[in-house]
Chain A
Amino acid sequence: MNPFTPSAPTPFASAPGPTVRAVHDEFHGDLLEVSMGPQHPSTHGVFRMVATLDGEQLVKLKPVFGYLHRNHEKIAENTTYLGSMPYTDRLDYLCSMSTNWAYALAVERLAGQAVPERAQYLRIIMAELTRLVNHSCLVGFLFNDLGTSFTPLLYAFREREKIIDLFESLSGSRMMCNYQRFGGCRVDPTPEWLAAAQQLVDNFPRFLDEYERMLTGNEIMLARTQGVGRLDATHAINAGITGPVLRASGVDYDLRKVDAYGFYAQFDFRVPLGAHGDTYDRYMMRILEMRESVKILQQAFKRLPAGPIMDPKAKLRGFRPKAGEAYGRLEGPKGELGFFLISDGSPNPYRYRVRPPSLINLTLLEEMCLGHTIADAVVILGSIDIVLGEVDR
């Protein structure tokens, strides 16, 4: 038995009472309340956890949100449909391309807008490249939390820079691409761009092999992640958790297969599934998904058709969809990313709502962390993969 592995996960029960004083007189002994964040080196942005500790073990964990609440939804309701597109970049600032797509998808559903074939393929290329960026960076940040102090992140950022360079040469911005439009894409990539992207994707499995050789079998990593932060499938489904965190618990639910939005139905790829739902499975999910993304990208480059990238009937200026409502969702790198829009026929949406995967995946943080040490809570938070721009909006 590994001495670092807790023998059994504790039942999902939080210590009673809102504060330390309330639990002090029970037979828990002396409890200590620790506030982690909003400024803390390992809380991934301005997230705050109020942890109640019994010795080093967590008995209660209260998340505190709202330190990056930037009024995204209210601003979007006061601007035009196209005017919100740059704001969606800043929701999940690591993967702006797929956030753009989710918003474009919702507006296209609302307006009944068709998308040409080449644009659909380009969208898939951009979304999968974004997934590579997000997952490689996430693994780097996760290992930062495990205490490797930056080295895996340096490798991840080396690959990120290559992909970001491609995005920049295409859209003009490194992070905030603002690339998708209602009815297509903004810029058509040149053959040189596609050749460069193809070469990057061809080389990506070598980076993954290198990454895995460094990280996957590492003894300390196994001791710190296996059996830590278990999440069973029933709890995950009940809490509405999606994305790699859900699939790590063994639930086969991937919107690319379920909804088959875009042209994903025509692609041959597998959905990796975990068995234990622990931090190690969540880490492996990211590595395996990156390998599947490479497969999707290879197929997309092979089949990319010629043609227009914008629907000729698409209207960008003076865009007024008729009254109605629509929900567009896609499998973002972090989970189900959805936009719900209600139109009253005016140039602005009447209601604009984001379904952020980061926030909803965070709801079971306490259940995952209870009974583990405070150091493990940091690792569990890292394995959930949150971006505060999306959590607080």
Chain B
Amino acid sequence: MSDPVTSPTPFPAAGNISDAEREDLRRHGILMTSLEELHNWGRSNSIWPLQFGLACCAIEMIAAATARFDIARFGAEIFRPSPRQADLMIVSGTVTKKMAPQVIRLWNQMPEPKYCIAMGACAISGGPFKQGYNVLKGIDRFIPVDIYIPGCPPRPEALLNGLIQLQKQIKAEQLTGPNAARFTRPEEPSEFPIPAYGAHDLVPTKNDALWAPPTPEAKA
């Protein structure tokens, strides 16, 4: 919740009333909420993922959409084949250097607000294929990732948990004020440079604004 003192808007939090007062009003049939809460409630419960499978994890992503795990319970069952209609990109599988430019192009084509889940060890870091010459060592070198789901492949329950974490993140987003969400700030980039598939590696090999190799800690 934003601070009512620093927030420039006249409708800061969910009204300046306590939860008990709110509950009391609700019993009388009056629903008190803020525009921000209503907006986030709607967005977090209708995330449309991009229908986009890369490798093994895609099979578990399909399994999450089928009857047993039923991702529809969380409002995310509408897999859109077109990036223009999608809110969420689930990078499910190994991103090779040949595929990375297309993945980033798909990300650029998605309209804001958009979110990215890196599903599985390969999308996070290259996973078991990290030593391969053709495997990108983590999609977060080129696009911002919101949720990381470890596993090889992660179980469908793990994907559902990742989705719930993303919903929590969306519900906590602010629309105004100094801590407003990324997509409300025009200076934040929405599109990222697409690397070229060069002779030996991607050119450039990483997006310097997003990712830097971890600095080794000096032992005391």
Q: Do A and B come from one complex?
A: yes
Provide the bound-state CA to CA distance between A341 and B106, in Å: 39
Provide the bound-state CA to CA distance between A154 and B102, in Å: 29
The chain A residue with its CB closest to the CB of B63 is: A157
Contact among B56, B67, B94, B106 for A175, CB-based, below 8 A:
B56
For the complex, is A271 an interface residue (Cβ under 8 Å from B)?
Answer: no
For the complex, is A58 an interface residue (Cβ under 8 Å from B)?
Answer: no
Total count of chain A residues near the partner, CB < 8 A = 32
| B66 and A39 within 8 A (CB) | no
Q: Mark A141-176, 1 if CB is under 8 A from B, else 0.
A: 000000000100110011011000000000000111
| A157 and B131 within 8 A (CB) | no
Contact among B53, B56, B102, B155 for A90, CB-based, below 8 A:
B56
Cβ of A40: which chain B residues have Cβ within 8 Å of it?
81
For the complex, is B134 an interface residue (Cβ under 8 Å from A)?
Answer: yes
For the complex, is A199 an interface residue (Cβ under 8 Å from B)?
Answer: no
How close is A64's CB to chain B, nearest CB, in angstroms?
Answer: 9
| A157 and B53 within 8 A (CB) | no
For the complex, is A86 an interface residue (Cβ under 8 Å from B)?
Answer: yes
| A158 and B59 within 8 A (CB) | no
For the complex, is B128 an interface residue (Cβ under 8 Å from A)?
Answer: yes
The chain B residue with its CB closest to the CB of A91 is: B56
Contact among B51, B53, B68, B155 for A45, CB-based, below 8 A:
B53
Surface stretch bound by B, among A65-73, A187-195, A291-299: A65-73
Provide the bound-state CA to CA distance between A46 and B62, in Å: 15
Q: Mark B60-104, 1 if CB is under 8 A from A, else 0.
A: 101101111000000000000100000000000110101100100
How close is B106's CB to chain A, nearest CB, in angstroms?
Answer: 6
How close is A27's CB to chain B, nearest CB, in angstroms?
Answer: 36
For the complex, is B164 an interface residue (Cβ under 8 Å from A)?
Answer: no
For the complex, is A243 an interface residue (Cβ under 8 Å from B)?
Answer: no
Provide the bound-state CA to CA distance between A67 and B134, in Å: 10
Cβ of A90: which chain B residues have Cβ within 8 Å of it?
55-56, 128
Contact among B52, B132, B134 for A39, CB-based, below 8 A:
B52
| A70 and B96 within 8 A (CB) | yes
Q: Mark A61-92, 1 if CB is under 8 A from B, else 0.
A: 00000111111001100100000001100100
| A154 and B128 within 8 A (CB) | no
| B68 and A67 within 8 A (CB) | no
Cβ of A41: which chain B residues have Cβ within 8 Å of it?
51, 81
| A157 and B132 within 8 A (CB) | no
Contact among B67, B94, B153 for A70, CB-based, below 8 A:
B94
| A154 and B67 within 8 A (CB) | yes
For the complex, is B13 an interface residue (Cβ under 8 Å from A)?
Answer: no
A45-B54, A68-B99, A388-B55 are known contacts. Are A158 and B132 too (CB-CB below 8 A)?
A: no
The chain B residue with its CB closest to the CB of A65 is: B98
| A176 and B153 within 8 A (CB) | yes
| A68 and B62 within 8 A (CB) | no
| A176 and B134 within 8 A (CB) | no
| A70 and B129 within 8 A (CB) | yes
10 additional A-B pairs beyond A68-B96, A161-B68, A176-B152, beta carbons within 8 Å, are: A38-B102, A45-B54, A45-B58, A70-B132, A71-B133, A93-B59, A93-B153, A153-B66, A158-B68, A175-B60
Q: Please, could you name 20 A-B residue pairs with CB atoms under 8 Å apart, sorted by A?
A: A38-B99, A39-B52, A39-B106, A46-B55, A46-B99, A66-B98, A69-B98, A70-B55, A70-B96, A71-B133, A75-B131, A78-B131, A157-B63, A157-B68, A160-B63, A161-B63, A161-B68, A174-B155, A175-B153, A389-B55
